[in-house]
Amino acid sequence: MATAESDSRFGGAVDWGLAARTGVRLAPSGPVTSRYTAEAVVAELESASVRAEGPVRDVTGLADGLPIPSAQVVDRAGWVRAAAKSMAHLTGSDVDPQRSSLAGKPSGVQAGAMLAYLSSAILGQYDPFTGEHGTLLLVAPNVLQVERTLAVPPADFRLWVCLHEVTHRVQFSSAPWMGDYMRSSVATLGEASKEPMAEFVSRLSSALRDRRRGEDLPVDQRGIIGLVRATQAEPQRAALDRLLVLGTVLEGHADHVMDAVGPDVVPSVVRIRKAFDARRRRKTTPIQRILRALLGVDAKMAQYVRGKRFVDAVVDRVGMASFNTVWTGPEAMPTLEEIEHPDAWIPRVLG
């Protein structure tokens, strides 16, 4: 459990109120559409978020009997405000502009720019840290823009997106320990290391040397996330590993559910998956690649792929009911190595 001291140390580094205001100003406008179409998208997403709950519970076997809160359908500015509020809760910060520190202003502007960039990419998000039952957000202009780009049936795509986000709500509802687990890990990441600078420099030099040699690095040591991980002291590295594993399982499980519902629920599910995966793999400009790397977008994409592969393998071998052991506590979560080798997780956790 995170202490108030550690939360304050990390949360005080960013003025999230300023981040929200900056992000709202910088967020790009959504796709051009008529008022009628915009209102229709909002109404259908609200309906789909409720209709998705039944298939998700059927596939996962989770959350039976729990309430079904309504989703919030927002625009990009609304997502920025909600995301900043969620990060403030997660880090133990303060969103009151009268209480924000001067030291947090530069980071607040940087965080706002980051949120503005992400605001055009996020289709939906479940926030377990706000509201009585968490908050499910659906970003209407982004859903509309992607379904147009992919040229897929709008009603099917909107339900398909809701299946993913509702799965996250079901996950957290079925595993209430995950909220504090995330807060504790984030607090540890924010703690200043007291180790000698020489040890940090040594790890950084070693990590860069390995990359220059072109060695075949394990998955968790590749890319910018791998470089950050290689330079961290052990407590921070362990905390990052916990968050990476949790995110990979959450996203992989949600992607598994999206496809497992089948054409009876989403008639064009195969077509949507094919088009959506092609979109994830599409080439980007050098500037976009730099931004994606700095913001961890590519690492996020890898989480979907690796996580779904892990969930698919475990469910195929032992069934969903046994897989659901993963939600019982931190000790049942796979390690980074087990994400790549599901056959190692099964005997350790299921016996």
314 DSSP assignment: H
Average pLDDT in the 269-288 region? 75
Do 30 and 144 meet the contact criterion of CB atoms below 8 Å apart? yes
pLDDT in tens, 285-342: 554 454 455 444 455 566 778 899 999 999 999 999 999 999 999 999 999 899 999 9
Residues 31, 144 contacting (CB under 8 angstroms): yes
- Give 249 or 67, the one with higher predicted confidence: 249
pLDDT grade, residue 8 (50/70/90)? very low
Confidence of residue 230 (pLDDT cuts 50, 70, 90): low
Average pLDDT over residues 74-78: 97
What's the whole-number mean pLDDT along residues 153-159? 96
30: confidence class by pLDDT, cuts 50, 70, 90: very high
Mind listing the pLDDT tens digit for each residue in 44-61?
Answer: 999 999 999 999 999 999
- With bands split at pLDDT 50, 70 and 90, how would you rate the model's confidence at 203? very low
The predicted structure's pLDDT at residue 132: 80
Position 200 scores a pLDDT of 41
Contact between 135 and 125 under an 8 Å Cβ cutoff? The reply is no
Listed by start position, the domains of the chain span 4-189+232-350, 194-228
Is the pTM for the entire model greater than 0.85?
Answer: no
**b/e burial code for range 223-259 (CB count within 10 A of at least 16 → b):** bebbeebbbbeeebbebbbbebbbbbbbbbbbbbbbb
Residue 75 has pLDDT above 50, yes or no: yes
Is residue 10 very low, low, confident or very high in pLDDT (cuts 50, 70, 90)?
A: very low
pLDDT digits (tens, 9 = 90+) for 182-192: 999 888 877 75
- Which of the listed ranges 34-48, 236-250, 303-317 does the model predict with the highest average pLDDT? 34-48
Which tokens is 291 given? 């931004």
Distance separating the N- and C-terminal Cα atoms of the chain: 28
3-state SS class at 194: coil
- Please list, residue by residue across 278-299, b when 16 or more beta carbons sit within 10 angstroms of its beta carbon and e when fewer do: eeeeeeeeeeeeeebeebbbbb
